[in-house]
């Protein structure tokens, strides 16, 4: 959205300086701090959720918006607001204040740690649209698309490492954190001896060892289900119980990104276009994907393979997916640490069972670093969306 397009929106609202933000009337009072992997996601039961609902948003003139946001976690000190630190919530609140001219409070579904990325974290915010010409007059709420474009305009004028990807209006008792039904995290690992590419820096965990995919997949089966995950719970975790149900845990190998096709891959694509039956025969197993990490290899004078000048050897890229209603603090990163040790041959299936049954973080290997963790999706049972012109 251009400055000229945004000007009428901004001129309708009061502009205030970025002062100390007042306590929001819809902030839940004295909620217990409950940690989750990368942030405080844990739902602590229906009674707590009901008490939160009753205290939220008593002002009927406020419109509650649900926002899905993506961000690169590298330059944030986490999602939750902290004094004297650049945080996801802090940057969002500043962008909203520039848009509507008054302070707001943003609440995230998942309070990710410093360095953790998000493909889709979800927040809610209450906005009162007040006329600048008649300060006492409250105008109809902005349409969600207007909110998305306007807030992104101010976000992109900043560092450009955070963006609103979706917006919708929700009832005033809808809480982004406590209404979440399920959360999905992804973790990226790059395997291989070559130094990590500049394009992948702080986007994945670089592991020099060659990882055994099948061994890691077998270890996942041990950890799926309802368990006491005390061995996968950081010491600072404040959850009331270590019991969690892990609905999904798997590892797959994918093409490393950014991906640019090699000569052989381009030739193969051209062959398929000319004759699709060459590679799409009835006996082809499409579930088996080949990831060639030796592109650019030439045969030297002594008959041995050598790397062609100027071409980087690709890493193998693995993605761990963890899905559950809620997680313990650092649970996903501790799970990935165990899977990596299994893939590298340092642990076996009996070792994984022993670690799980030990119910002590002292039994687990070091957790994976934050840079490879991505909050992928937060699932809700959303109310029907109103028809909007």
| CATH number for 172 | 3.30.70.580
pLDDT at 168: 96
pLDDT at 295: 56
User: Which residue, among 189, 164, 45, 5, has the nearest Cα to 96 in the 3D structure?
Assistant: 164
pLDDT at 270: 80
For the stretch 165-182, pLDDT in tens is 999 999 999 999 999 999
- Average pLDDT of the residues of the chain: 82
Helix (H, G, I), strand (E, B) or coil at 337: helix
Helix (H, G, I), strand (E, B) or coil at 153: helix
Which residue's entry shows tokens 């100390």?
20
Instruction: Give the range among 223-227, 260-264, 328-332 with minimum mean pLDDT.
Output: 260-264
Confidence of residue 22 (pLDDT cuts 50, 70, 90): very low
CATH number at residue 237: 3.30.70.660
Residues 192 and 139 both lie in one domain: no
Half-sphere exposure of 198 (CA within 13 A, CB side): 0
Residues 246 and 144 both lie in one domain: no
Beta strands in 56-151 (DSSP E): 63-71, 106-108, 117-127
For the stretch 304-357, pLDDT in tens is 556 678 888 889 999 999 999 999 999 999 999 999 999 999 999 999 999 999
pLDDT at 138: 82
Confidence of residue 362 (pLDDT cuts 50, 70, 90): very high
Considering the entire predicted model, what is its pTM? 0.80
Residues 243 and 352 both lie in one domain: yes
Measured in degrees and rounded to the nearest 5, phi and psi for residue 374 equal: -130, 130
For the stretch 28-56, pLDDT in tens is 434 334 445 554 444 434 334 444 444 45
| Residue finishing a domain among 178, 211, 226 | 178
Residues 69 and 149 both lie in one domain: yes
**What is the C-alpha to C-alpha distance for residues 7 and 347, in angstroms, rounded to an integer?**
60
Residues 106 and 216 both lie in one domain: no
For the stretch 266-276, pLDDT in tens is 888 887 667 66
pLDDT at 289: 46
Residues 116 and 223 both lie in one domain: no
pLDDT at 242: 97
Q: Report if residue 30 sits inside a domain.
A: no
- Mean pLDDT within 106-131: 94
Domain that holds residue 370: 181-257+314-382
Report, as residue numbers or ranges, the catalytic residues.
Answer: 113
Q: Report if residue 119 sits inside a domain.
A: yes
Q: Report if residue 18 sits inside a domain.
A: no
Q: Report if residue 205 sits inside a domain.
A: yes
Residues 146 and 196 both lie in one domain: no
Residue 246 in contact with residue 324, Cβ under 8 Å?
Answer: yes
Residues 73 and 143 both lie in one domain: yes
């Amino acid at each position: 959205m251009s400055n000229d397009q945004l000007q009428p929106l901004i001129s309708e609202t009061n502009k205030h300086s970025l002062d100390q933000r007042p306590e929001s009337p819809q902030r839940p009072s004295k909620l217990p701090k409950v940690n989750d992997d990368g942030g405080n996601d844990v739902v602590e039961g229906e009674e707590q959720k009901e008490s939160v609902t009753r205290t939220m948003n008593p002002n009927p003139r406020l419109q509650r918006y649900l926002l899905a946001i993506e961000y690169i976690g590298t330059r944030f000190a986490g999602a939750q607001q902290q004094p004297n630190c650049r945080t996801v919530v802090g940057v969002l609140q500043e962008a909203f204040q520039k848009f509507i001219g008054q302070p707001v409070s943003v609440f995230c579904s998942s309070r990710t740690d410093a360095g953790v990325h998000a493909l889709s974290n979800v927040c809610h915010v209450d906005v009162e649209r007040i006329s600048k010409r008649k300060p006492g007059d409250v105008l109809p709420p902005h349409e969600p698309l207007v909110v998305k474009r306007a807030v992104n305009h101010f976000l992109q004028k900043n560092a450009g490492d955070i963006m609103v990807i979706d917006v919708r209006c929700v009832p005033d008792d809808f809480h982004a954190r406590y209404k979440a039904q399920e959360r999905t995290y992804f973790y990226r690992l790059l395997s291989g001896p070559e130094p990590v590419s500049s394009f992948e820096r702080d986007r994945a965990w670089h592991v020099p060892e060659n990882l055994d995919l099948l061994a890691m997949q077998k270890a996942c089966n041990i950890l799926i289900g309802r368990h006491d995950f005390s061995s996968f719970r950081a010491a600072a975790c404040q959850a009331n119980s270590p019991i969690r149900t892990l609905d999904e845990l798997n590892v797959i190998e994918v093409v490393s990104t950014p991906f640019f096709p090699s000569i052989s891959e381009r030739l193969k694509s051209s062959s398929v276009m000319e004759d699709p039956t060459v590679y799409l025969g009835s006996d082809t197993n499409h579930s088996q994907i080949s990831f060639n990490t030796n592109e650019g290899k030439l045969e030297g004078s002594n008959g041995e393979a050598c790397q062609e000048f100027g071409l980087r050897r690709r890493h193998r890229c693995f993605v761990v997916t963890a899905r559950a209603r809620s997680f313990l603090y650092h649970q996903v990163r501790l799970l990935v640490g165990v899977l990596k040790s299994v893939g590298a041959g340092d642990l076996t299936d009996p070792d994984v069972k022993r670690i799980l049954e030990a119910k002590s973080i002292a039994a687990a290997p070091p957790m994976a670093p934050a840079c490879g963790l991505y909050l992928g999706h937060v699932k809700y049972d959303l109310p029907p969306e109103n028809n909007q012109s």
